């Protein structure tokens, strides 16, 4: 079976880049896997995040996200990637009834994944899920779509080291419960205390010291400062795309 895609080169004024390749690639063994169907689609989302979307037919049940994460993390590590986040949720691009398993990972040296990385991780995860299914463990029974991505520039902050790495940048934080009288904060990260895992964020001129354990969602805000501080995205294949468009 073949999958193919055409991606654009999008140079933003501040210097960030979305890039992809124009290519055709063979995807062996996909037809025999319950985690694949005949079409695989690559689409860009956010700032430079590459996503590999796969759809597969299943029954109906709830998913154990902790167990799913436990299975996925070694597969990411085997490829040299750090696992950033695993989410399982209902509602997606195709319809509100769709379920999506979203895997976000990165190379430690670049903070990103390129298309080939997304494809490699997707194959490993699908193969591992198939192995467990053959052994009698069904991780997800309902129909779902597998989505593999890199974090992008305006990335989520999910680990203590993420907060430490992005001190000085504007961030939005939502807590799982009230801290004082607030659950939401937006402002510059001013510090991170690793021993107690406490995040310092300045919101409207006031610095709040928020426990990492209470963080439900946190995300960097896309600013010129953040774009300037981010590593350049991989632009391999850009010449090929431009040549293809000119022909």
Q: What pLDDT sits at residue 221?
A: 97
Rounded to an integer, the average pLDDT of 80-105 is 83
Task: State pLDDT tens for residues 36-88.
Answer: 432 333 333 333 333 344 434 333 335 788 999 999 999 999 999 999 999 99
Whether 163 shows a pLDDT value over 90: the answer reads: yes
Whether 1 shows a pLDDT value over 60: the answer reads: no
Q: Worst-scoring range by mean pLDDT, 8-12, 77-81, 93-97, 198-202? A: 8-12
Beta strands in the chain (DSSP E): 2-5, 10-11, 17-18, 23-26, 41-45, 49-56, 82-90, 99-106, 144-149, 170-179, 182-193, 198-203, 206-211, 215-220
Q: What pLDDT sits at residue 141?
A: 84
- Pairing relationship of beta strands 49-56 and 41-45 according to DSSP bridges: antiparallel
Q: What pLDDT sits at residue 119?
A: 93
Rounded to an integer, the average pLDDT of 171-180 is 96
pLDDT band at 95 (very low <50, low <70, confident <90, very high): low
Q: Worst-scoring range by mean pLDDT, 19-23, 210-214, 238-242? A: 19-23
pLDDT band at 30 (very low <50, low <70, confident <90, very high): very low
Rounded to an integer, the average pLDDT of 21-49 is 36
SS3 238: helix
**Quick one: 160-221 is in which CATH superfamily?**
Ribosome maturation factor RimP, C-terminal domain (2.30.30.180)
pLDDT band at 96 (very low <50, low <70, confident <90, very high): low
What is the average pLDDT value for the chain, to the nearest integer? 74
Give the chain's radius of gyration (CA, Å).
19
Partners of 156 in beta bridges: 219
pLDDT band at 102 (very low <50, low <70, confident <90, very high): very high
Listed by start position, the domains of the chain span 2-149, 160-221
65-78 helix and 115-134 helix, angle to the nearest 10 degrees: 130
pLDDT band at 99 (very low <50, low <70, confident <90, very high): confident
Rounded to an integer, the average pLDDT of 180-206 is 96
CA distance 146 to 125: 9
CA distance 70 to 79: 16
Enter the pTM of the model: 0.68
Whether 32 shows a pLDDT value over 50: the answer reads: no
Q: What is the DSSP letter of 38?
A: S
Task: State pLDDT tens for residues 103-158.
Answer: 999 999 888 889 999 999 999 999 999 999 999 999 998 888 899 999 988 999 99
Q: What pLDDT sits at residue 93?
A: 54
């Amino acid at each position: 079976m073949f999958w193919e895609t055409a991606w654009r080169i999008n140079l933003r004024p501040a210097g960030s880049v979305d890039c992809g390749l124009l290519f055709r690639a063979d995807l062996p063994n996909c037809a025999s896997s319950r985690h694949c169907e005949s079409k695989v689609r690559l689409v860009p989302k956010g700032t430079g995040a590459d996503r590999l979307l796969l759809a597969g037919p299943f029954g109906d049940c709830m998913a154990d996200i902790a167990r799913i994460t436990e299975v996925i993390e070694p597969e990411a590590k085997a490829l040299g990637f750090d696992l950033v986040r695993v989410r399982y949720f209902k509602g997606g691009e195709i319809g509100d009834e769709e379920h999506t398993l979203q895997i976000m990972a990165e190379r430690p040296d670049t903070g990103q994944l390129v298309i080939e990385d997304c494809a490699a991780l997707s194959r490993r995860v699908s193969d591992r899920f198939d192995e467990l299914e053959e052994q009698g463990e069904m991780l997800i029974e309902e129909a779902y779509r597998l989505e593999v991505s890199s974090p992008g520039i305006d990335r989520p902050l999910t680990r203590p080291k993420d907060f430490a790495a992005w001190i000085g940048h504007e961030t939005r934080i939502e807590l799982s419960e009230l801290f004082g009288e607030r659950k939401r904060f937006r402002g510059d990260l001013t510090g991170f205390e690793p021993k107690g895992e406490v995040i310092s964020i300045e919101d409207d001129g006031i610095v709040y010291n928020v426990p990492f354990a209470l963080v439900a969602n946190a995300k960097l805000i896309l600013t010129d400062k953040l774009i300037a501080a981010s590593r350049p995205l991989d632009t391999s294949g850009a010449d090929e795309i431009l040549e293809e468009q000119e022909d």
